[in-house]
Amino acid sequence: MNVAPAAPEASEKPAVPVAPVAPEAPAQPAAPAGKLPNFRTRAITAACFSISIVAMVLISKITTVIVVAALSGLCAFELFVMLRADAKLPNEFIGTAVAAFYPVAYAIWHFNGLLSLTVAFACALLVWYVNFSTTRITDVAITLFGACYTGLMLTSLVMIRDILPGFWGGVLVFGVLLSVWANDAAAFIIGSRFGKHPMAPRISPKKSWEGFVAGIILSVVVWCLLPLIPGLDLPIVWAIVGGLACGWIGILGDLVESRIKRNTGFKDSGHLLPGHGGFLDRCDSLLLVAAVASLLFRVAGL
């Protein structure tokens, strides 16, 4: 049997030269996750909070009372929530209600209203203490302190607004608010960049003496602008004293709230203000500054 000849093998094709592949560029390091969005959130929240407060203060005395009452109630409630985590049992309902009513009582009955409300508040707490065996005297004291620490202190803003009539009273309150915010901003910026000497490492490790001095200086600068408000007869010496006193007391208010949060295991007093925490976090310095500023204006004869 004849076998067909095998087909000739196909000749191999010459290899096609392949162009060299360029090496990939090294990947750029990514920005820290969440840092920019968090800063943006903080900035937006701070702007909305500040603009809302300033607008309510400038519109009229009634709107000032409303916003101060709201802040007082919210700060008191957040404080009581934190204290419960520290084995305290305050009466949140009575304490928050009284804190929110302090500005209203002053607006209607002035100092007689504050005194009457405080006496009625103390009596109500003692009735609570006598009729409920589980209530401790420390719970009574904590409830009384919480309402006074928030509501009574913030009521000083309404007192400050009464120093000047109409719109200019609101401008004076805005000046006090601006001194607090300027103090906080200067202390944070200078402390973050140049701070080398911790101020209270066990309570607030990020605070430094460099930031403290910067905050005091900016507080004095803002207070020295207050005599420019029409109708405000504030000598420049009193303005400097006010700036120094409120700058220092503002830092103290911040440290007090930091100590409370550290003792109760809270990072923030609440979660209603994105990027900032709670309302007590935003008003910790203002609580004491408002009271000291009101007292200083009265001592200065205003």
pLDDT digit string, tens, across residues 100-137: 999 999 999 999 999 999 999 999 999 999 999 888 99
| Tokens matching residue 268 | 């923030």
- Which residue has 């901003």 as its token pair? 185
Residues in the chain: 302
Confidence of residue 94 (pLDDT cuts 50, 70, 90): very high
- Which residue has 């607090």 as its token pair? 180
Backbone angles phi, psi at 242, to 5 degrees: -65, -40
Answer with the residue of higher pLDDT: 301 or 71: 71
Q: Compute the mean pLDDT over every residue in the chain, rounded to the nearest whole number.
A: 84
pLDDT digit string, tens, across residues 38-52: 667 777 887 888 899
| Tokens matching residue 282 | 């935003």
**Mean pLDDT (whole number) for 215-219:** 91
**Mean pLDDT (whole number) for 90-108:** 95
Q: Give me the percent of the chain exceeding a pLDDT of 90.
A: 54
Ordered by start, the domain boundaries in the chain are 56-162, 166-302
Q: Spell out the residues 6+ positions from residue 88 whose beta carbon is closer than 8 angstroms to its own.
A: 138, 139, 142
Instruction: Give the whole-angstrom CA distance, residue 135 versus residue 137.
Output: 7
